[in-house]
Amino acid sequence: MAAKKATKAKAKSQRLHILQSTLFRWLIFGQLLALFLIAYVKMGSLLISQTNHTDKNMFGGDQMHNMRLATQAKADLDPDFTQGFTPALKNFFPHRTDGVVQPLWPWVAAWLVEPGHQITEEVMVSKQGRPEDYSLFNKGRWFNVFVTATFLVFLGIAACKKLSLPAACNLILLGGFGALLPRAAYFQPEPLYFIFFFLTWVACISALKNNSLWIYAVIGVVSGLAYMTKSSIQPLLAGFVIASSLRCVWEIFSTRSQDLQMSGTHRWHWRNHVVGLVMLGVAHFMTIGPRLTTSYEQFGDMFHSYPAYWMWMDDFEEKGFQWMVDHPNAEALAAIPADQKPSAGNYVRTHTPEQIQQRLLSGTQAKVTEFLLPAQTERNKKIEKQKPWRGIFEARGWYLVALSGILLVTLLILPWSAPKAQHAGHLIFKPGISVIVFFVVGSLVGYTLLFGWYHPIGRGDRFMMSLYLPLVFTLIWGADSIVKRIQQRQGSRWILHAYQTAHWLLFAALCWRLLEVFRMPFFYNR
């Protein structure tokens, strides 16, 4: 009898070992990832066929302008070296800009343009799409779907190595269906920008933790690619420089705690920061160099951007667009008197404090609402009467609330969940965590206010959506790091089980939502 019980206990132990093994974990993740890709591509086909597919859609916004720049950039892909090696090489790299659209996406889309395809001013005025226009339009949108899917595969693999299995699954589900795929159905640079913005965000956090010099170079390159896609990356770079410089000052003047000796591998070197900023700047400007020279030749300003002027106007249709038409080149821009050029100083001079406050508050409220509480589709018990969906993850704000709740609970149980740290490797709040929190919160608040101010000019949720994947990652990474440190300090195992259970419940909710959409696969065309 005793031998039989021992055999059962051994068998149970072996089954648990198999379930906890690395191989089993990767097999499960591989199967889930395959299912994710199938669902992602299928959902992408639904969005492409049912939304943003009419002449009005294609000519609305700036999609046709992107397509026109792509047809113009087609000639750059076959450089003429008979005119000189340097000019030909410079023209091959992304550099074309009309002052609104940045050059990277049109350059990438140019590889999809059929020979001889041109979009003339007559086509732009007619607002009637031709077969070749729709061919480029759809190829560009499918390109966005497959590029974002490829990125999510690599992100999922990296996340599965560093995070718990359910946390990694939730990261790619929320990042893919919550942020990337909804914008992939448009012939616009947002999908590429969201990817480079996220990579810049992660690299900045990594540099605030451990500032090896190569990380600064990575930040310079990926932020440069992000800038070549959309210029909105600049506030994030400014936030990183401020946050990292604050830590640099702290490192110089602070003294280390005597309770725990920090090993050299955990130090943040202020000398690396000084040299690293130089490397960041060099890598960044080398990446965006061709665009800067072209912008200077066309507009007399390397960093010229019409949206930078529009943000100091109160209306786009009546003022912003016509102002751009009236000032198409360097000569026209240089001729504007200083007291008439749209700027922060002139805006403050011509508006009352109440008007400024009202614009900031109303715009911020609108942007936050669009971001966290988008329009919801009313559910109907009878599927034949169900209205088309307005989005995939319509409750995306509540998913952020759920992730925030998981992080908050791990913080609340932290004081009594594990023994005191015995060495630096067990520390949960390592040096630099406060700076990372400052960077994350500061970036979130800064972008919210900036996009809120810009609301009268640029409406819609695509501006704030660049923050969704970074926020999802930060919340998941923060909670996962705390739980892992608790386990390293021999904390209670129920904490790990409760944490993973919470993520599996969120995973189930996300999957249920996807099944709900696939059950009635129709979207509202907007």
**DSSP structure string for 310-364:** HTTSS-IIIIIHHHHHH--SHHHHHTS-TTTS--HHHHHHHS-HHHHHHHHHHHH
Q: Which residues pair with 389 in a beta bridge?
A: 523
- Mean predicted confidence (pLDDT) in 430-437: 83
Residue in 342, 350, 362 with CA at minimum distance from that of residue 453: 362
CB 303 within 8 A of CB 292: yes
Q: Provide the mean pLDDT of the chain.
A: 89
When pLDDT is cut at 50, 70 and 90, the band that residue 428 belongs to is low
- Mean predicted confidence (pLDDT) in 14-28: 73
CB 132 within 8 A of CB 114: yes
- Mean predicted confidence (pLDDT) in 298-306: 95
The DSSP secondary-structure symbol of 523 reads B
Query: For the CA atoms of 435, 439, 440, 442, what is the dihedral angle to 10 degrees?
Result: 120
Q: Which residue has the tokens 């005119």?
A: 83
Q: Which residues pair with 478 in a beta bridge?
A: none
Amino acid 419: pLDDT: 59
When pLDDT is cut at 50, 70 and 90, the band that residue 85 belongs to is confident
**Lowest mean per-residue pLDDT among 168-177, 200-209, 297-306, 410-419:** 410-419
Encode pLDDT of 137-151 as tens digits: 999 999 999 999 999
When pLDDT is cut at 50, 70 and 90, the band that residue 16 belongs to is low
User: Above 50 in pLDDT, residue 367?
Assistant: yes
**Lowest mean per-residue pLDDT among 117-121, 443-447, 513-517:** 117-121
Ramachandran area for residue 388 (φ above 0: left; ψ -120 to 50: alpha; else beta): beta
How far the first Cα of the chain sits from its last, in Å, is 70
User: Above 90 in pLDDT, residue 61?
Assistant: no
Q: Which residues pair with 523 in a beta bridge?
A: 389
User: Above 60 in pLDDT, residue 266?
Assistant: no
CA dist., res. 357 & res. 361, Å (int): 6
What tokens does 197 get? 């913005």
- Mean predicted confidence (pLDDT) in 256-271: 56
CA 13 to chain centroid: 43
User: Above 50 in pLDDT, residue 415?
Assistant: yes
CB 471 within 8 A of CB 201: no
Encode pLDDT of 96-127 as tens digits: 999 999 999 999 999 999 999 999 889 998 99
When pLDDT is cut at 50, 70 and 90, the band that residue 89 belongs to is confident
CB 151 within 8 A of CB 473: no
Encode pLDDT of 468-481 as tens digits: 999 999 999 999 99
When pLDDT is cut at 50, 70 and 90, the band that residue 420 belongs to is low
